[in-house]
Amino acid sequence: MSTIVKNDVKQALLEAGISIMLEKGYSNSGISEVLASVGVPKGSFYYYFESKEDFALAMISYASERNAEGMSKIFDDTSIKAIDRLKKYFTDCRIDMVSKECRKGCLIGNLSQEMADQSERLREALTDILLAKHQMLADVIAEAQVDGDISNKRSAKELAELTHAAWMGSLLLAKTTKDSGLLETCECLIFEDILK
Amino acid sequence: MSTIVKNDVKQALLEAGISIMLEKGYSNSGISEVLASVGVPKGSFYYYFESKEDFALAMISYASERNAEGMSKIFDDTSIKAIDRLKKYFTDCRIDMVSKECRKGCLIGNLSQEMADQSERLREALTDILLAKHQMLADVIAEAQVDGDISNKRSAKELAELTHAAWMGSLLLAKTTKDSGLLETCECLIFEDILK
């Protein structure tokens, strides 16, 4: 296999794994299903990943890099006011969840829920990603505080955590009830009550 | 088996199942582990439950009744102001999570996350329980609105949903990071910003 083809197979395995694990969770997803979806034999999987846990760690890393790129694309655009970048971010997240008919949700949130007490390696990796996400949110919130669009009553870090908590809880409720209305209500809460 | 012994076995299976499923999730929990924990043969399980899904439905129902009883005990005590009953409820929830070292979390939230896209029967049962919980919260919030302790800017129903969403998200973050600090911050958010 050439390096390009090798990377294609690895990426295809990661993308298939993310899609299957987003729908079915970690414990309920089998490696054989991922292999069948990509159309490669078992040997290809173990060429890239030592175990299912290693595969999950690679998926978490891949998905969070993609998330971080998406966040940076919005958050680094300083032609738009910081508060409006935050609004665009949450609106885009809501539209994405609505387009998925409130299924699947977010890989990092789903695996956090399912695996935090099952695998210390996964829990640590997930914690690092959550904290990095809070930092990205906190940086833009701090900018909006300097602009005077968000009060300094709470620290940017605390506001980032609270905003993210409210959003994750709303995603979970929307995933269960299949009612996306709560996501809109949560957006109002974030910008009218938390980040004000 | 006398009726009392029968009910004892059923209850023991439900309690063992809840304890195991809280820690390991649905897909990762085996019936054999529940049977070993209670010390009864497979036949006893299938005498009470047709399948793992039926068992989960019975656990959800059992756990939610216990939760509802705990909520009623606090919420029906009209010798205490409605706003203070709400505070006591969230403080008790936080103390419980801290006492569990931020492990396990809440069965209804955990199964919602893991199973909403996997079993329509479980999703519907979980939705009913979440909506009933929101109604219990909304009733006390409405009382606090009449008392003038919470503004009428949002409806009691909306405030109940938002409060619950923020709390569930905070539980998920605490479960992952094993940092209970966010639960305290979330309590402040609930009473200083959402229910104000």
Counting Cα atoms < 13 Å in the Cβ hemisphere of B46 gives 4
Best mutation target, B124, B189, B195, to test chain A (most A CBs within 10 A): B189
Tell me the torsion sign for CA atoms B22, B27, B29, B35: positive
> In this predicted structure, what is the pLDDT of residue A92?
97
Three-state DSSP at A192 gives: helix
Closest approach of chain B CAs to the CA of A101, in angstroms? 11
What's this model's pTM, rounded to 2 decimal places? Answer: 0.93
> In this predicted structure, what is the pLDDT of residue B191?
96
Question: pLDDT band at residue B7, thresholds of 50, 70 and 90?
Answer: confident
Three-state DSSP at A46 gives: helix
Contact B158, B180 (CB under 8 A): no
pLDDT tens column, B69-88: 999 999 999 999 999 999 99
Six token digits for residue A118 = 């099952």
CA distance B98 to B85: 20
CB-CB under 8 Å, A118 with B28 = yes
Question: pLDDT band at residue B5, thresholds of 50, 70 and 90?
Answer: low
pLDDT tens column, B109-165: 999 999 999 999 999 999 999 999 999 999 999 999 999 999 999 999 999 999 999
A chain contacts of residue B124, beta-carbon cutoff 8 Å: none
pLDDT tens column, A83-121: 999 999 999 999 999 999 999 989 999 999 999 999 999
Contact A182, B161 (CB under 8 A): yes
Q: What is the share, in percent, of chain A residues with pLDDT greater than 70?
A: 97
pLDDT tens column, B37-60: 999 999 989 999 999 999 999 999
> In this predicted structure, what is the pLDDT of residue A5?
64
Residue A2 has pLDDT above 90, yes or no: no
CA distance B45 to B6: 11
CB-CB under 8 Å, A113 with B114 = yes
Contact A151, A196 (CB under 8 A): yes
CB-CB under 8 Å, A114 with B175 = no
Q: What is the DSSP string of B23-54?
A: HH-STT--HHHHHHHHT--HHHHHHH-SSHHH
Read off the pLDDT of each residue in A173-182 and give the average, rounded to a whole number.
95
- Out of B27, B104, B172, closest to residue A109 by CB: B172
Read off the pLDDT of each residue in A118-134 and give the average, rounded to a whole number.
97
Assembly ipTM: 0.93
CA distance B187 to B181: 10
CB neighbours of residue A51 within 10 Å: 11
- Out of A109, A131, A194, closest to residue B193 by CB: A194
CA distance A142 to B54: 49
Residue B1 has pLDDT above 90, yes or no: no
